[in-house]
Amino acid sequence: MKKIILSIDGMTCSACSNGLEKYLNKQKGISSASVNLVMANALIEYDEQILNKEKIENFVKEAGFKSLGLYKEESVEKKRKNGKILFITFSILALILLYISMGHMIGLPTIPILNMHTNPKNYTIALLILTIPFLIYGFDILKNGFKNLIHKSPNMDTLVGIGVISSISYSLYSMYMIFNGHTHYTENLYFESAAIVIFFIKLGRYIDGVSKDKTKEAIQNLVKITPNHATIKIDGKEKQVTLDEIKKGDIVISKPGDKIAVDGEITLGKTHLDESFITGESKPVNRTIGEKVIAGSINYDGYIEYKAEKIGKESTISEIVRLVVEATNTKAPIAKIADKVSGYFVPAVILIAVVTFIAYLILGYEFSIALSTFVTILVVACPCSLGLATPLAIVVSEGVCAQNGILVKKSEILENAQKVNTIVFDKTGTLTYGKLKVSKIINYSKLELKELMQIAGSLESRSTHPIGKAFTDFLTENKIETLNVENFEDISGFGIVGTIGKDEIILGNSKILSKYQIKNTHQKDEKVLTENGNSIIYVVKNKEIIALIGVNDVIREYTKEIINSLKVLRNRNYYAYRR
């Protein structure tokens, strides 16, 4: 069995996705198909000995939709400015149309030349002219509605399409009667109703689109973890290439500050790598010859060459993205129920509307009233809230989780989360910030804390070591400017040395004290800090120890409050259950 994810065009409501899903699952060779309305794609598992991509795409076409090819995370749509401008334009047109047709009902002054009583022909022509752009704007709705009706899978667009066409048709008849002298037919014009129905449907889709885009952007941000370009070594020369050009076995070069392009194995050099996006560990790990590197990791301070092993879809980050996309295609039990109900809902609404229309005529009501009731039932009975709200809530939740580093394997997990009674927290990156920060400062000098950290931070800002980032972050957060550093030297494995003004400054571990023959009388303080998980930095000014600084991954600001809140919630639910 093989899995494929196709981008689908033409789905506008849950009845669309439900109809396509049912159709695909009926086809020989397809073991399972799950259609995602929000992500506009379909996850299909099929027997590759019976089917191929082209045959599956043909099934999609037969069902009344269009396959746009393989779903690509990189091509996730972004909000389009022209779409927003178009929506604003039609919002203004809608207000003008409502003012002309209904302004007099709420006491607004009428435009004499467009008065429905004194100038009925002008009034009728104005409504028609303003309605035509809305018919063009909503042509996709009308087209999809009748297309799905032909394919025996009516959806929300079918309801709207029948209602709009019915309103327009009767309004054109009324317009004909007005131009033949029957001016009372101005009361039977429904041009504005058809236009505003289309406008409100577009409004709903615009709002839904904003929510969908946030989820899609979250997935796209996962893809952006890897760089767009990399440097490979060919016959001893460096060449910059795109990720698609890297082949298995290529030697890739990574310099300080670069992101690892593909999964591989180091063949030359050593460095510290930030792998926190995968492991959650804040402290960069030391990697040397023979050890693995993961695409997306950040190279802090060394030059390395590594052999490409996993590229493209095989890489670790691509596998994570695939899991996230597949998770959005799994359906929670509540979503399956909503899909099933909405599948029967649309035909039932059409039947009720037709029966009501006929009943009104039999009971002696005017044709215009019967038609108005018919259109109202079709338009108001929109199944979107039932079939779209549930999957949209689930997919948006999964997108937010992905953005915050939480991978959801199946959608039903979110639904089952309400039953959780025990939570186990991973410390690093969850209860803590997931990156190194200055956690403890022991000042042995007469310097103010700000002055002390300005000296240490200025020197560390010249270093490429991971610990240096903790000091530069401290300066930034406390709005402390850096000082000019001269004669800077990075002594690998020991620390850094430099001159600030006339003072020689040394920062490093205890080994650097021995190297410069500086007496250490603060070993007890060092032991306490080390036992608490800190990395130790001695600050030495002119051969005298002036401070001992601990760098660690510190607890998040609201961690204690959140844990206490969860405990209170647990106790409340426990006692409610006991009652």
Q: Do domains 229-314 and 437-552 have the same CATH topology?
A: no
Q: CATH fold of 2-75, please?
A: Alpha-Beta Plaits (3.30.70)
Name the pLDDT band for 355 (thresholds 50, 70, 90). Answer: very high
Please indicate whether residue 140 is annotated as part of the active site: no
User: What are the contacts of 168-176 at 24+ separation with CB within 8 A?
Assistant: 168/131, 168/135, 168/194, 170/367, 170/368, 170/371, 171/127, 171/128, 174/124, 175/124, 175/128
CA–CA separation, 319 and 263 (whole Å): 12
Model confidence at 155: pLDDT above 50: yes
pLDDT in tens, 516-575: 999 999 999 999 998 888 889 999 999 999 999 999 887 887 888 888 888 887 777 655
Model confidence at 198: pLDDT above 50: yes
Question: Phi and psi for 556 in degrees, rounded to 5?
Answer: -65, 155
CATH 3.40.50.720 fits domain 229-314: no
Name the pLDDT band for 4 (thresholds 50, 70, 90). Answer: confident
Q: Which of 274, 426, 473, 525 is catalytic?
A: 426
Residue 66 confidence (pLDDT): 84
Residue 485 confidence (pLDDT): 92
Name the class of domain 437-552. Answer: alpha beta
pLDDT in tens, 235-274: 888 998 887 788 889 999 998 878 898 999 999 998 888 8
**Tally of CA atoms within 13 A in the half-sphere of 283 that contains its CB:** 10
Residue 384 confidence (pLDDT): 53
Domains of the chain by residue range: 2-75, 83-221+324-394, 229-314, 437-552
CA–CA separation, 137 and 140 (whole Å): 8
pLDDT in tens, 159-186: 788 888 888 988 898 899 999 988 888 8
Name the pLDDT band for 498 (thresholds 50, 70, 90). Answer: very high
The amino acid that residue 281 corresponds to is E
Residue 350 confidence (pLDDT): 84
pLDDT in tens, 44-95: 889 888 988 889 999 988 887 888 888 765 444 444 556 678 888 999 999 9
Residue 78 confidence (pLDDT): 44
CA–CA separation, 329 and 40 (whole Å): 10
User: Average pLDDT, stretch 392-404?
Assistant: 69
Residue 220: in which H helix or E strand, if any?
helix 191-223
Structural tokens at position 285: 């790990």
Task: Indicate the average pLDDT of the chain.
Answer: 82
What's the whole-model pTM score? 0.51
